[in-house]
Amino acid sequence: MIRPDLLLKPTPKGLYCPPGDFYIDPVRGAVDRAVVTHGHADHARAGHAHVLATPETLAIMASRYGEGFAGATQPLEYGETVEINGVTVWLSPAGHVLGSAQVVVEWKGLRMVCTGDYKRRRDPTCRAFEPVPGTHVFISEATFGLPVFRHPDSDREIAKLLASVRASPDRTHLVGVYALGKAQRVIKLLREAGYHETLYIHGALEKLCRLYEEHGIDLGPLETATLDTSERGAQERFRGQIVLGPPASFHDRWGRRFPDPLPCFASGWMGVRQRAKQSGVELPLIISDHADWDELTDTVREVDPEELWITHGREDALVRWAELEGRKARPLRLVGYEEDAFE
């Protein structure tokens, strides 16, 4: 078997494939050829000459950056293969957000799989993670790669939110959610829990919610929460309602106009009590689009690679765990992915 770092190696620009001459999720500057795992802005940057990704990820990038975000784009459906300079590339669902994919790279009998960001929990807004059999080298993210990170059941967190809405009918529940993935997942989970009233969204969520709907994910009645101050008492109608927006928007003028707001935040980081406190969140909702410690370690056992490479996040704890399990593991020390910003 050839040495894995002949096929993929960490570089300052990201994970690079020398024989294929392409990068996976390049983080620094424009490259000639990029394979993109998913649409979060730290993984999917604009300006590359050529981008290969799932059709959904390409649609997300076009919606964020405009149609001309790359010189050329090449959509690749899950499971379809393509040859890039003699290297076989295909994509397997990662269960992170709509269109998210693990990148499978094969060359001279060696199969390497780069997860991008992933999770194993049920998510009604995207295809579930599919482990790739026969993986020699598994390159896993490690955003929540510490044993203290154990995310609770998402349905239970949604039930907490609905209980709070019932208990405080005079307040506006402002739910902080990231625009891609988390917003649509929280909305869909609310629908599944039986909440069918209009949900109010910040304008920054509009485009991506529409894109999800165009991809067949029904989000129910949504309305953009615009506060028309010319109409007296206009904001009164938000009492008892749920309003979703990017976390930062709740601190600006838009967020402060809602009557008696009750700040909530849906994030895996809400499992860290200190963080919830510091951010002024009254109702933390631990809902994550990343694998927690159990999901990470269970996935490594399930994929059972010959070698484990670990990237962005808590690399060292996972390396130590793998070594104790008798596994060969290596931290990649790639920089440029933002562990907080898009969780």
Residues that bind Zn ion (CB under 5 A): 40, 117, 337, 342
> By C-beta, is 117 or 292 nearer to Zn ion?
117
Residue with tokens 């917003």: 183
> By C-beta, is 107 or 337 nearer to Zn ion?
337
User: Shortest gap between Cβ of 267 and Zn ion (angstroms)?
Assistant: 13
User: Shortest gap between Cβ of 157 and Zn ion (angstroms)?
Assistant: 19
Give start and end residues of each alpha helix (H) in 193-342: 203-214, 253-256, 273-278, 293-303, 315-324
Task: Determine if residue 21 is left, alpha or beta; phi over 0 gives left, psi from -120 to 50 gives alpha, anything else beta.
Answer: left
> By C-beta, is 69 or 342 nearer to Zn ion?
342
DSSP 127: P
User: Shortest gap between Cβ of 71 and Zn ion (angstroms)?
Assistant: 24
Q: Do 64 and 80 contact (CB within 8 A), yes or no?
A: no
> By C-beta, is 192 or 340 nearer to Zn ion?
340
User: Shortest gap between Cβ of 265 and Zn ion (angstroms)?
Assistant: 17
Task: Report helix, strand or coil for 250.
Answer: helix
Tokens at 270, concatenated: 């809400």
User: Shortest gap between Cβ of 19 and Zn ion (angstroms)?
Assistant: 26
Which strands, in side-by-side order, build the sheet including 22-24?
9-11, 14-17, 22-24, 33-35, 50-53, 72-75
> By C-beta, is 117 or 315 nearer to Zn ion?
117
> By C-beta, is 40 or 171 nearer to Zn ion?
40
User: Shortest gap between Cβ of 41 and Zn ion (angstroms)?
Assistant: 9
Provide the strand spans (E) within 214-272: 222-224, 242-245, 261-266
Q: Identify any residues that bridge with 81 across adjacent strands, giving them in sequence order.
A: 90
